[in-house]
Structure 1
Amino acid sequence: MSADLPAYQCASCGRSHVPAAGRWRCDCGGLLDLPPRPISWNPRPADHTLWRYQDAIAVPGRAFSLGEGMTPLVRAAADGTDRTLLKVEYASPTGSFKDRGAVMLVALARLLGARRLVADSSGNAGTAVAAYAARAGLAAEIFVPAGTSEKKVQQIRGHGAEVTAVPGSREDTARAAAARVAETAAFYASHVYNPYFYEGTKTYALEIFEQLGQAAPATLVLPAGNGTLVIGAYLGFAGLRSAGLIDRLPRIVAVQAERCAPVARAFAAGRAETVPVEPAPTVAEGIAIGAPARGARMLEIVRATGGTVVTVAEAEVTAARAALARRGFWVEPTGAVAYAAARRLRVPGSPYAEGELVVPLCGSGLKAPG
């Protein structure tokens, strides 16, 4: 079946690799990508999941589903006067946008004959991988940082996955997971390292394009931790442009927590690479990534689209979460990060004050304490 899958391509040395259950990085240590390709636009009207875009997804066949995708796109203001649009990603089966990528990784693992999965996560990706592994009948072990929300840990365990809590940073958690993969030859269902994850998150862009009447918004405001939604959304709109379906890319604004902002620091300094930072405690635990493996890619994307990188303070996130709740949306703190930035970007005189601006509500408030 691997012959039907696009080959991995190393971002560092350019070497190609046939997808295999044990392959998650190049022999040189470089990150793996998939070659860019235009979108084949042929939505399947009878399918109300992200698999309606099956012809645009590199994973062949509609392997299985929990009903992921096709999340609502609604105006922030109930009277419809606000051109800020909210993509309600917490309506996904496990309560976060990570379902989009997790279904691809687990489908890929099945195609490659894997029997056991390992993933590392600050919570949402882990719950998504655990749920889809359960759906596929595969064993899963999820590594999380010690201190991860107990509700997320309960959800992972509820899906039948083994949970390993790792003291230290988010990067320590990733290293522990990689070590387990090396020990056991499990499939590494990494939303950071496996580029097939972005085959799922790019459907975020395809849905917006379809929901806006086959048009691109002026701006996407996206939370940026490891960059899975930044990269996926960019790939989706870039593929639409390559296919001649749109003539411009939306500006991408990447948002980080003030207390953990390596991408923002690098962008402000004009650097092409991020420098690791020591994360301080933040309510936005889902994006507290001090050393994002694909930080350079995020910087490249933001600059290519004419966007920017901004940070939000803890008080802004808390206020944005409360403001969303008063409008009927209950999100976890990380899920309010992009909306916090959007409220500031929409002030008169801002270059982002005009045009459609789309914000994801990434994770359900039911996952967070308080």
Structure 2
Amino acid sequence: MLAPMTPYVCPRCAVSAPADALTWRCPRCRGPWDLDFTSAPMSLTSLASRVNSLWRYEEALPLATEIPHVTLGEGRTPLVPLTRSGTGSGAGSIWAKLDFLMPTLSFKDRGAVMLAELARRLARAGGVRRVLADSSGNAGTAIAAYCARAGLDCAVYVPEGTSPKKLEQIRAHGALPTLVPGDREATARAARAAADEPGTFYASHVYNPHFLHGTKTYVYELWEELGGRLPDTIVVPVGNGTLLLGAALAVDELYRHGLTETRPPLVAVQAEAVSPLAAAFHAGADDLLAPAAGAQAVARPTIAEGIAIPNPPRARQILRAVRASGGTFLTVTEDQLRAAQQDLARRGLFVESTGVACWAAVRAAPRPGLTVVPLCGAGAKTGLSPSGTHRA
């Protein structure tokens, strides 16, 4: 018998579906699912004796009712200072959470462990024969690793220009990479076309909301590490918005349960070259801006490949979450990304070019109080040329 699983619900049209139906998106509006899940409060003091993984926050996780869980000991990444508060200037301090020290070297492990646990349960019930994912690299390597841990067959669709080191990691975990000609959008379309094949669990870090409930542990860890409070500002990179939406979930839950007195603003960072959400936000729009009549959308190249998403499916949710928090969007240039990557390396932190976006955005103009930025992926996954350019 399967333990009870939280049903899916469409945030736009209220259609629902059971988690074991393998219906990966709303059949009416074809949008991403949310979960009909309500977290419970937890005690900060109780955490000291709990398992040293993401599953320590069991009251906040929709798949925590059955033990044991799939795990690689993910989470609890270090929080280290990058700058200290100045004297008299009003400037605050900036700290970094080193999520590139996860088992697969990126923050995507937070969501991947949830998807692998769900797929494991569905496979045990006989409904799943293989897991399919699509990714620009990091989510694919994470899904591959956690599927290996769960004993599941896995296929990962990636753009043809994906870093060879990430492809090597995917293969090493026993997953089958499928290289798709074109960009990240073409890869997503190809994966979605294959996702409806019988017996396929689409482990989409965009469409499946279990991933968001995994990424929200990023903020739960901040709350625990800071002794039951949250930073004054939380800065996150945004492509498909999985970390930002997870952060918004966690802030809302902690505040609702009376576990924090503040709701910090969420500051979202995009590469200037691919910044559809920043453009919509600053235009006051509720959704992505429509292209001008007769204009064709042209994707400009960026070394921040992990957030180069021109049409994020959860755009409306992302814009709403940033506005509700009192936050904003910032963009960074390619030169700023390269300079930030080199700067962090000189501080002892070798981070891939997407993962430095937040540091690039805030280091020149720190906000008051404590600001926390995530360093999301390891530089060892992509490398760094002598000139500071990304080597794909």
TM-score by length of 1: 0.94
Aligned match of 1:46 in 31, 38, 50?
A: 50
Within-5 A mapping of 1:187-198: 187-198=201-212
Distance apart, 1:16 and its partner CA: 1.6
Instruction: State how far apart, in whole Å, the 2-side matches of 1:278 and 1:332 are.
Output: 24
**Counterpart AA for 1:86:** A
Partner of 2:200: 186
1:115-164 per-residue CA deviation (whole Å, 9 max, x = no partner) reads 31000000000000000011111000000011011111111011110011
Change (3 A) 1:88 1:21: farther
Instruction: State how far apart, in whole Å, the 1-side matches of 2:299 and 2:263 are.
Output: 32
Partner of 2:104: 94
Aligned match of 1:68 in 74, 87, 104?
A: 74
Distance apart, 1:343 and its partner CA: 1.0
Within-5 A mapping of 1:122-133: 122-133=136-147
Instruction: State how far apart, in whole Å, the 2-side matches of 1:278 and 1:44 are.
Output: 50
Partner of 2:268: 254
Partner of 1:161: 175
Instruction: State how far apart, in whole Å, the 2-side matches of 1:362 and 1:187 are.
Output: 26
Within-5 A mapping of 1:1-370: 4-20=4-20, 22-28=22-28, 29-35=30-36, 37-42=38-43, 43=47, 45-60=49-64, 61=66, 62-77=68-83, 83-113=93-123, 114-275=128-289, 277-346=297-366, 353-370=367-384
Q: Conserved in 2, the CA contact under 8 Å of 1:274 and 1:295?
A: yes
Q: Conserved in 2, the CA contact under 8 Å of 1:104 and 1:200?
A: yes
Identity of aligned residues (%): 50
Distance apart, 1:336 and its partner CA: 0.5
Instruction: State how far apart, in whole Å, the 1-side matches of 2:371 and 2:12 are.
Output: 34
Instruction: State how far apart, in whole Å, the 2-side matches of 1:44 and 1:232 are.
Output: 23
Distance apart, 1:55 and its partner CA: 2.1
1:254-306 per-residue CA deviation (whole Å, 9 max, x = no partner) reads 00000000000000110000137532110100000010001111100110000
The answer for unaligned runs of 5 or more in structure 1 is 347-352
Distance apart, 1:39 and its partner CA: 4.0
The answer for unaligned runs of 5 or more in structure 2 is 291-296, 385-392
In terms of Rg, which structure is larger?
2
Distance apart, 1:36 and its partner CA: 5.4
**Counterpart AA for 1:71:** T
**Counterpart AA for 1:30:** G
Instruction: State how far apart, in whole Å, the 2-side matches of 1:181 and 1:36 are.
Output: 25
1:186-208 per-residue CA deviation (whole Å, 9 max, x = no partner) reads 10000000000011101001000
Q: Conserved in 1, the CA contact under 8 Å of 2:337 and 2:356?
A: yes
Equivalent pairs, count: 364
**Counterpart AA for 2:320:** E
Q: Which moved more, 1:58-67 or 1:356-365?
A: 58-67
Distance apart, 1:169 and its partner CA: 2.2
TM-score by length of 2: 0.89
